[in-house]
Amino acid sequence: MTTLDTGDDGVFLALEEHLRHERDRLEDRRRELEDVRALITRVADRSLGAWTPSSEPVSRVVAPSVVNQLLTESTGMVRNFVLTIDDGPALDETTVRANRARIDRGDVQRAVYPADILTTQRGQRWLSVWAEAGEDQRILPATGTEFAVFGDTAVVALAGWDDLSQGYVVLRDPLVIRLYTAYFDLAWKHGVPAPTVENDGSSDPHLVELLELGLKDEAIARHLGVSLRTVRRRVARLMSVNGVDTRFQLGWVLAGRPR
């Protein structure tokens, strides 16, 4: 009994040390993000007087059309730093379609979400839908603000860092864009990959059926009404879920799966 107690004490000590290390690591992350935030505030502050950043207030009425236009006209990676999925300028159907079309044409989209998105069915569904569309997702314990960086063209950000009620602004100054990009990339580095909501081999049943019929990717794309890139992305996800490296291995696993 004494030996068992000693062993248990060792486990608890190891767990306490691990928790302490993780707390320290999170605190380091918070300080780094705060440093970049402070720099963004300083550079974007009109009171500096040396120059005036190109800042355009955006009303809630026109915000969706502004985001839609930026999605259509800009190139390069889209970086979304999300405060909430319940409010924002990019939730209308037209903008969502433009967003998905951009991903389909090959532009990378990354998004950082707050951890509370995992606690609701709507949040989980949101992550699943956009992961399916090809968005790369990571999670932070909390986000605290909201913005989107459209390549090196513009940033759409909250007018007040953490205040949704103040609306949004479009920022076009190259230095400000680089700072928001740096903030996002630092947050992305410290985030953890968003968990897969569905994690078994039947997570994409319609696609599985078409693969088992031996259809080529092009035929599957036509059948499903999606792009070839989307089909290949979904196949890659199936391979990852089933722990295989090749299409041949995936076919073998699917063929042997219980009906």
| Domains annotated on the chain, with CATH | 53-193 (3.30.870.10), 205-255 (1.10.10)
Query: What's the predicted TM-score (pTM) here?
Result: 0.62
The pLDDT of residue 177 is 93
CA distances from 1 to 13, 34, 185 (A): 18, 49, 51
Question: Average pLDDT, whole number, for the chain?
Answer: 78
Look at residue 59 and give its three-state secondary structure: coil
Contact 155, 148 (CB under 8 A): yes
pLDDT tens sequence across 169-188: 999 999 999 999 999 999 99
> Max Cα separation, the chain?
73
The pLDDT of residue 15 is 67
Contact 152, 175 (CB under 8 A): no
